[in-house]
Structure 1
Amino acid sequence: MEGSQSEALQCAAALKKQMAVSVIGQEQLINDILIAYIAGGHVLLEGAPGLAKTLTVRTFAELSQLTFKRIQFTPDLLPADLTGTLIFDPNARRFSVRRGPLFAHVVLADEINRAPAKVQSALLEAMAEGQVTIGEHSYPLSQPFFVLATQNPIEQEGTYPLPEAELDRFLFKLFVPYPKPADELVIMLKSAGITASAKKDEQSGAAPVLPVEALQILRLAADRVRCTEGLQTYMVSLVAATRPIEEKHTELPRGSYLSYITVGASPRASIALYRCAKVRALLNGRDYVLPEDVKALAYPILRHRLKLSYEASAENISADEIIAELLELIPQP
């Protein structure tokens, strides 16, 4: 088992290295996507157009030997466009199921906030239950099933806010930053085919490096990573500190971080912290969790689970600023 675990970790390292060849300057994003994949969760990606979000997801699917489908979300999208539908076969005189793009291992939901509520509910069932309902029957989805959804933070015209229940089903919300100037230079030259390395990369292609068997080994290894009782309490304390006390909310002093939160994180956040901290420790070569693992993961796990108040919006207070204050206030073990 130790040898298998070592080989699986080498596969994970190879995936990150290979992805970094195609997706320049996004090492942290790649690492977080890998953590979410091993932990069995879904990812919401937020970033401006042109930051290689689609390329990142497609490359990840290719390197993981997984089937990949991309769905462009639009206001006229129907649930059947995701799940599939029943087609009448006149020769057999019966209905047969035509499966939709959700029947893939990796699904890219592009501009997810452009689709109406019925489509969101169909995606929510797939994310929460690992199945879709077509007609009167439910059909299990491929395993592993990994949804990566994108949304544009700039253009909000014609968009639908994602319901809190759906946001809570995303393990991470990750920001896709602009590349550094040095990385952007590499991207520009590679795109133009000027550099020899770019041409070589295109010829070599994306050879699969993280098979499903390695994923199962990594998940079992992550389960064995030790997490002390003190760290477990720390995780729960962080999540519980995001929940305003209803009867005392009006008495909170202006400027208190709780005055900027209307709804805090659910117990799914605690579960996510516990699970992902173990995966992060494993990928960093440790069999035990450190407080640094919890602190690093608090941002992607909590930022989309906090519903901020009007005061926070008026004062331009972000969820990340509130999380940073929480990490300062809650004593670590």
Structure 2
Amino acid sequence: MNVDDLVAIDIHTHAEEPCGCARDDGYDEFQAAMAKYFRNPAGKDGMLPSVQQTAEYFRERRIGAVIFPVDSERNTGFRRYSNEEVAEICAENDDILIPFASVDPWKGKAGIREIRRMARDFGVYGFKFHPTMQGFWPNEHQFYPIWEAIQEEGKIALFHTGQTGVGSGMPGGMGMKLKFSNPMAIDDVAADFPDLQIIMAHPAFPWQEEALSVCMHKPNVYIDLSGWSPKYFPEILINYANKLIKKKVLFGSDWPAITPDRWLRDFEDAPFRDEVRPLILKDNARRLLNL
């Protein structure tokens, strides 16, 4: 990867289509609800972009992309997509794709073995967790061996925070409980694992101030700006990004729910300082990922 040639690094993109299997039962309904929530035609009438198609899209735009599946088999019943296959496709497109993996934390020792295998044999840079979708509190001590393994492997833990589009508008929100994604639970993890690099994903509505507080207080915590158009960012988030945490804020789109084209277009009109924009778009991610 020639990072100098990249316009930006998108720290948050999803592998939503399976690499080597068909969509799972109920997945069409789930993706249609997501498409409605994000006002995104993708997912309504057909398949979402594959990992290979994602690589081609981002290559055309000279944007590096961190990409991952989400393993939430226990809480959703959807069989997950293979971490190994995603990592293999990333290796074939390593000029533009940066692999993360995802392990359902409820898998315990089996999950820890997979974390070590994905880190050592497949060279993933980090692991994605979605407390609401996976149905767990990150600060419960039964999950601490997961964070210990990631810290020992020198990898990044990326946690969804705040409200989610997952299940929005579906009966009971598809059983998703928003409370699990309060960023204050991440504060405990950051305190107890000070060498674990953590990214809190998304403007953390309705807990934005809590997220900013954690990011300010814990040197090992970053915030990505994915999942929202910049024109909807709360004023306090922009103020902190411009000053107090300008080296800890990361560009993320939430592809394919939100495209980089849309996000970057709205970012141009948002009141970020000129000297802060390159930090958000590429420099902070480059340093965190050690590219």
TM-score, normalised with respect to structure 2: 0.31
**Greater radius of gyration (CA):** 1
What TM-score does the superposition give when structure 1 sets the normalisation length? Answer: 0.29
Bigger proportion of residues as helix: 1
